[in-house]
Structures are given as C-alpha cells and as structure tokens.
Amino acid sequence: MDSSEFLDFLISRTSVRDYLDEELTEDDIVFLLDSASTAPSAGNLEAWDVVVIRETDQKEALMGAAYDQPQLEAAPVLFVVCANYVRSMSRYGERGILYAVQDATIACTYMMLAAHSRRLHSCWVGAFDEDGVRDILGLPPHIRAVAILTVGKGRPHGTLTERMAVGEHVHFDTW
C-alpha cells in the first residue's frame, strides 16, 4: 500500500452503528487481537487488556451501562479495551496511569483499523458508566475500561464524516 492508498484507507472508515445479523468468524476475532498486540506501548509493557464479549446477556448488560446505545446489542462482538495500571505503574509510577490509558487507546485504534482492513465495521464507544461496566465484567481494581469497540458486518450510512480543516489543529514550533 502506498501513502495515498493509506490515506484513502483511513478516509474510507466511518463509524457504523447498524449491524447485520451475522457472526464474526474466530479468524476475524484473532486477527483483530493479533493486530492490537502489534501496537506500540510505553516501555513495551503493553499495559492493556481486552474482554471479548459474544454472549447476548453480557451485550445487553453492557448496553445498559452505555446509556442504552443500541449498537452494543446489535454488534456480534464487543471488545472492551482496558488499561492495566499495575503493568504500567510498576515501572512508571503515577505517570503509568496516563501511559496505560494511552496503551489501551492505541490498541483499540489498531483493532478498529484492523476491522476496516477486513471490510468489517466498528464503532468506538466511550460513553458508558465505568462502575457499571466494572460490575458486569468483574474487572479488578487495577483495570479500567477505556473504550468499547463494537465490531461486525454493518450497514454503513454511506457518507464520509466531515472533519475540521487540519490547519485548525496544527501549531508549528510553538503554540
């Protein structure tokens, strides 16, 4: 893939919240997880973990914790991507809290793009009640759910999402 194909690949991804009633294959799931494990991480400590959700009951419960966003029930698989504070703080102390969140975020990003490379659809879900998700999944205290990625074959809405002009983000040499 050359750089213009790479940009086209990125531009063509959009969040999809409407899913077909079709399972992901085991191979799809392994591909996404293998992709996440190639992500960079602070000190290569890989301070992220993921809970793969396929059970209907768990999806329904998580939908409740995510303020009833229907894509959580509709998607065949959810990936709850978590920061693992112990793994990162054991080396980096307080700074490790931030690193673990960044490690989880980039792992989730890799999974999202891996899904796109397989013509699967996804939606990053950040709006959820953390305590609710903790209870449903039985997360230990040093694990923080950072994002839920819904993945499946979906019905894209067909329009590309608008962005700010990139120049509005960018500052050269000083703010």
15 binds ligand FMN (CB under 6 A): yes
Nearer to ligand FMN, 7 or 86 (CB): 7
Residue 137 CA: distances (Å) to CA of 23, 79, 83: 22, 12, 14
- For residue 72, count other CB atoms closer than 10 A to its CB: 25
Nearer to ligand FMN, 89 or 108 (CB): 108
Residues near 106 by beta carbon (within 8 Å), at least 6 away in sequence: 39, 40, 41
Q: Interface residues for ligand FMN in 131-170 (CB under 6 A)?
A: 161
Of positions 21, 57, 119, 127, contacts ligand FMN by CB under 6 A: 127
Nearer to ligand FMN, 164 or 172 (CB): 164
Nearest to 61 by CA among 153, 3, 132: 132
Q: Interface residues for ligand FMN in 44-103 (CB under 6 A)?
A: 69
109 binds ligand FMN (CB under 6 A): no
